[in-house]
Structure 1
Amino acid sequence: MSETLSLILALAAGFLLGVIFFGGLWWTVQKGPSSKQPALWFLGSLLLRTSTVMVGFYFTSDNHWERLIICLLGFIIARRIVVRLTRQPEEEPNQLTKETTHAT
């Protein structure tokens, strides 16, 4: 397999691992507080997500530091995308608030 193809696959694997990790984190934060045992929910999610990502990084890198760095880059890109997609919309101040702050 060519080096370029292996780096592209490492980037895609890192992206997928990031989506799994941060998507799972978002899902846990949404569902965890309403569960009967939230501490167990959060701890189990942390262990599952972390172990999945660590094993994914290990097999993706295959003892090549270049693949590991590219995989990490894909992971960070996925983080930025998941954070942007799951962000709560910011509330705009109402017109009265705008006018009172403008007058001072």
Structure 2
Amino acid sequence: MSNLISVLLGFFGGTAIGALFFGGLWFTTKKMLTSKWPALMYLGSLILRVGFTLLGFYYIGQDDWKIMLIGLLGFISMRFIVLRMTRTENLEPIELDKEY
């Protein structure tokens, strides 16, 4: 029973990390279009997201590497879920100025 609980906690921990990582990536790309300093915003978001992800996987995988792999499965599955949730149907092309 204890093994089942650790597997479930590893999977749901990986999905939580994946939701924060990919949700943060989506949020950053949406806000970067109107930001005054988009490169700084992207770099700061990247450092925060990767740091949180590494710490989360370190915490999940302390006991067993198999639990870390199950957490990675939850992380990857969350990628597809966030991708489906943030899909936009009607994309319009952005008009660029012809003057350079």
Partner of 2:47: 47
Aligned-partner Cα distance in 2 for 1:76–1:44? 23
> With structure 2 as the length reference, what TM-score do the two structures score?
0.86
Amino acid at match of 2:65: W
Partner of 2:59: 59
Secondary structure of 1:34's match? Answer: coil
Partner of 1:102: none
Partner of 2:72: 72
Partner of 2:96: none
Amino acid at match of 1:86: T
Matches within 5 A, 1:1-104: 2-89=2-89
Amino acid at match of 1:11: F
**Alpha-carbon deviation of 1:90?**
5.4
**Alpha-carbon deviation of 1:33?**
2.1
Highest CA radius of gyration, 1 or 2? 1
The structure carrying a bigger helix percent of its residues is 1
> With structure 1 as the length reference, what TM-score do the two structures score?
0.83
Amino acid at match of 1:2: S
Deviations 1:29-52 (A, max 9, x none): 000121111000000000000000
Gaps of 5+ in 1: 92-104
**Alpha-carbon deviation of 1:4?**
1.1
Aligned-partner Cα distance in 1 for 2:90–2:27? 20
Aligned-partner Cα distance in 1 for 2:90–2:72? 30
Aligned-partner Cα distance in 1 for 2:74–2:19? 10
- Number of aligned positions between the proteins: 91
Give the 4+ runs in structure 1 shifted more than 2 A.
none
The root-mean-square deviation of aligned C-alpha atoms, in Å, is 1.3
Deviations 1:32-91 (A, max 9, x none): 121111000000000000000000000011141111100000001111000001011157
Amino acid at match of 1:43: L
